[in-house]
Chains A and B, each alone.
Chain A
């Protein structure tokens, strides 16, 4: 008997929750704000669904309702991807060690 592919996806999901659990506990509390902004950015990988939805069908029916929702989702996710990663980068650049020469 064959195993439903859903079970594989479920396994990946459950194991990823555990990875997330251990990885996030090891994040230093002082970086919790960048953690939130970067998780925000990576959850925008939902854009892959939006791309598939938007580009479905040929050139003639590219503006069907379903495609338009895909395009709208692309804009939203793009704001998030660029905004999320860049603001994280900006924050992380501020975390510096004490520089002896500055004192």
Chain B
């Protein structure tokens, strides 16, 4: 056994180590050490908890076996998962945290003595509120993340699912949760508790289905935040400092990422979560498409242009991830560098399906991180660059965001690809991007369209460069 005070001190140490884990991520050099701090913090929390419970009978054996099973599954997934699938992996992991929070809350509700919360049907009111909140947010995180996972995986269509009165139904469900928690506190009846969990599961689904595929960076960040708040709710119930600190850290981390993503699209948070955006408005975008002339080229043209350039900026987007073109891209850049061309990468905040998605893919392909730049750092360089190689990105380069106040993406910060001397656009067709808006850049004189799969085209360019 271990005294309650000492236990609390250990949980505090875990909490501090978790803070250091996040602090480490301020630069790639310190990040690995940070991760180690996180692991130590977790080991301490688990170790002291097991010692404090002091039950080394059959239960302990089960615990070890189950941790081994879960741990092996987790380790297996983490080694097997391709980097392009990180968004769905993170969504999947969020769903597990959510469900674990629900299970712990259920357990606390059924057996409150263990956590000093009172006795069944006579649980402290404050604890009831805390555990219902933890369970509700956990349940929303669970089903919401499952939907996000299915959409990212392509099992479910990425287009928004909307129906009449959707927001009112969600509002009604949200308000009814408050009512149910009130009745739960009043009557202590377990019916209310189960209903809260059921409605929260339903609400999680309804909240995420109207949100379109390309808004997933916001959704994932938001669910990240929710999983934190759920953990904090459980932390209050269990009076556990490590959980409270961690919940607050994760909650604010997810909230900040959501904010950064929304700002990257110049949209308000509510505009994103209310959804329905990206239901392609084809009537307006298809009208003038056919008449405008487009210059298209092949790999030889592209190779010639880039070989003779003195500087090239690569603009990767989700299409690069889909085509798994990051390794070919790195080879192409190596070949260009051999020819004395200066190459850098420009990354838009919302490129890809989760925050930092493109950076991870480039890192996987061994692109040194000091050649990769964020929007604000590199945007002025486009004016002095000879060739911009846009691979799998579209809307984030669309100049209409600056010029046309009618456009849905008006005001969104874009990469100033248009300012470079020539633009190479790798794209499978002229179809508009996710936002359903035609990209002016396609029809400019200095733009050369390369109609092909991103990976194939890049590989062909490498051949032509030799």
Question: Chain A residues in contact with chain B, CB under 8 A?
Answer: 5-6, 9, 12-14, 16-17, 19-21, 23-59, 62, 64-67, 69-99, 103
Contact = CB atoms under 8 A, between A and B. Distances in A.
Given A23-B19, A55-B63, A5 B239 contact: yes
A37 to B, nearest CB: 6
Contact of A51 (B50, B99, B372): B50
Chain A residues touching B, majority SS: helix
A98 B70 CA distance: 37
B53 A62 contact: no
Interface residues of B, number: 117
A30 to B, nearest CB: 4
A96 B374 CA distance: 17
Contact of A43 (B25, B74, B247): B247
B103 A69 contact: yes
Given A20-B253, A76-B103, A97-B368, A54 B27 contact: no
A50 B235 CA distance: 12
B89 to A, nearest CB: 7
A42 B370 CA distance: 28
A17 B245 CA distance: 8
B31 A92 contact: yes
Contact of A88 (B35, B66, B250, B251): B35
Of the candidates A9, A20, A87, A97, the one having the most CB atoms from chain B within 10 angstroms of its own CB is A20
B439 interface: no
B42 A49 contact: no
B416 to A, nearest CB: 18
B360 A56 contact: no
Given A33-B359, A49-B243, A24 B32 contact: no
Of the candidates B41, B114, B253, the one having the most CB atoms from chain A within 10 angstroms of its own CB is B253
Contacts of A17: 248, 251-252
B359 A31 contact: yes
Of the candidates A46, A47, A89, the one having the most CB atoms from chain B within 10 angstroms of its own CB is A46
28 contacts: A12-B245, A24-B22, A24-B249, A27-B25, A29-B374, A30-B372, A32-B356, A33-B360, A34-B35, A36-B224, A38-B22, A39-B228, A42-B246, A45-B18, A47-B100, A50-B103, A62-B59, A67-B59, A67-B111, A69-B110, A74-B66, A76-B103, A86-B75, A87-B77, A87-B78, A96-B28, A97-B370, A98-B368
B369 interface: yes
